[in-house]
A and B are shown apart, each in its own frame.
Chain A
C-alpha cells in the first residue's frame, strides 16, 4: 500500500493563547479534491497555511508522500505545494508572464527561454495568452486570480492549496476562476480548497470537510454532507451557505 499524498495527523495550532486548530486529521489521495468549509475563524485558512509551513504547528505531524514536512527544507516543500491566495498577491512590479517565470527561473533554475515558453503555455491554459505582458494593476480580479493559479501550476506542484480564491472577486468574475479550477480537477490535480462556493463543492469535490472551532466536525462525499449530514451544526451551516452562495 502506498502512502497517501497528504496525511494531516492530529494537528494542533494556536496563536498565543488562542487555540486555532485542535487535533485535525485527514488524508488526501492523489487526484482528490477536498473542500474545506466552516464558519469564519474556524481555522480553514490556518490549516492550509500549515501545509506549506507559512504557519508553524504546535503538535502533530503533516506528511507529504510519507515524509514529514517538518523534516524537509521549507523551500523544497513549497516548491511541491502550490498556493493560491484570496488577495491574489501577484508580484505588482512584474507582468503576468514574469509573475510565472520568476519561480521557474529563481527556484527551479530554468533558463530564460524555457521559462518563458513554459509560462506562456501555462497562461494560455488559464485563458490569458493575450494578457501575458500586462501588469497586475491592468488586469481584472478574475484575470489576476487566473495568473495566480498559473504561477502556482507552473511549478508542477503535487498538491494545490486554494485559500478562498474567489472571495475577493466581484460576483460576475467568480465563474471564470471556478471554471479554471474545475478543469484542473478534471485533469486530476490534487486540490485542497477553502471556499464558500457550494456549487463548486457539489460539482468538483470528492470530499467536503466541515471545520468548526478548530475541530473537524465531519467529512464525506458532497452528496452525503449536503443531504444527510450527521451533525446538526453541519446542516445548519451548509443550508445558510447554500442560500447565500448557490448550490447549482
Chain B
C-alpha cells in the first residue's frame, strides 16, 4: 500500500471521529454563542454610558470611569476571569465568565463609543442646545444616533475578539468550544489537527456570518447621501 492512501485513510478516520462527536461540538458552539451574546450585551449596557461619561462627563464622573477603564483594559482576561470566579465567588462558572468577559468588553466598548461621540462635529451639539434641548436630550436625539452608526466597525472588531476570547472560559471549567476540543483531542490524540481545524472552522463561520449581518445592518441604517 502506498503511503499517500495510508495518510488519507488515517485522515478520514479522524474526520469521522470529529463527525461522530458533532453533538459535542454543537453544544460547545451554543455555549460560546451564548457567552458572546450575553457578554456583548453587558459590555454594551455598561460601555455605552461609560463612553458618554468619558466624552461629556464632569470632573467627578470622568474621574471614576476613566481609571476603572484603564485598570480593566490593563488586566489580562485570564486574571479577570479567575478573579471573578475564584476571588469574587460568583457562580455558576458560566455567570462568572459572562461577567468577566462583559466587564472587559465594556472597558473596550467605552472607547469605541467615546471615539465615535467625539467624532461627531461639535456644531451638532451646539445646534441641538440652541433649539432648546437639554444636554442629555441633545446627546440622546442628536449625538448618539450619529455616533452609534460610526461605532459599527469598532463594534465588529470587538465582537470578533469577544467570540474568540470566550475560549478563556475553559480556565474556570466552562465547556465551550475550545475546551471541548481539548477533551476530544485527549480521547483520540491522532485527531488533533482535525479537531482544532473543526473548531476553527466553527469560529470562522460564526464571525463571518455575524460580521456580514452587522454590515447589512450598517448599510440599512446609513444616512442617505452621507459617507459613513
Interface of A toward B, CB cutoff 8 Å: 52, 54, 74-76, 78-79, 82-83, 85, 87, 89-93, 102-103, 106-107, 134-138, 151-152, 155
Contacts and interface: CB of A to CB of B under 8 A. Distances in A.
Contacts of A79: 131-132
A93 to B, nearest CB: 5
A161 to B, nearest CB: 9
Contact of B141 (A54, A87, A106): A106
A82 B145 CA distance: 24
Contacts of B71: none
B226 A89 contact: no
Contacts of A155: 131-132
Interface of B: 121, 123-124, 126-134, 137, 141-142, 145-146, 149, 223-227
Given A89-B123, A90-B127, A93-B145, A78 B223 contact: no
B129 A135 contact: no
Of B126, B127, B137, most A-chain CB atoms within 10 Å: B127
A83 B130 contact: yes
Given A79-B131, A107-B133, A135-B223, 15 more contacts: A54-B129, A74-B129, A78-B130, A89-B121, A89-B126, A92-B226, A93-B142, A93-B145, A102-B133, A106-B133, A107-B137, A135-B224, A135-B225, A137-B224, A137-B226
Nearest to A107: B132
A136 B142 CA distance: 14
A91 B124 contact: yes
A241 to B, nearest CB: 26
Given A85-B123, A87-B123, A106 B137 contact: yes
A90 B149 CA distance: 17
20 contacts: A54-B126, A74-B129, A76-B132, A78-B130, A78-B131, A91-B127, A92-B226, A93-B142, A93-B223, A102-B128, A102-B131, A102-B141, A134-B225, A135-B223, A135-B224, A136-B225, A137-B223, A137-B224, A138-B224, A155-B131
A103 B133 contact: yes
A74 B138 CA distance: 14
Contacts of A137: 223-227
A52 B128 CA distance: 12
The CB with the most chain B CB atoms within 10 A, among A52, A54, A85, A89, is that of A89
Contacts of A93: 142, 145-146, 149, 223
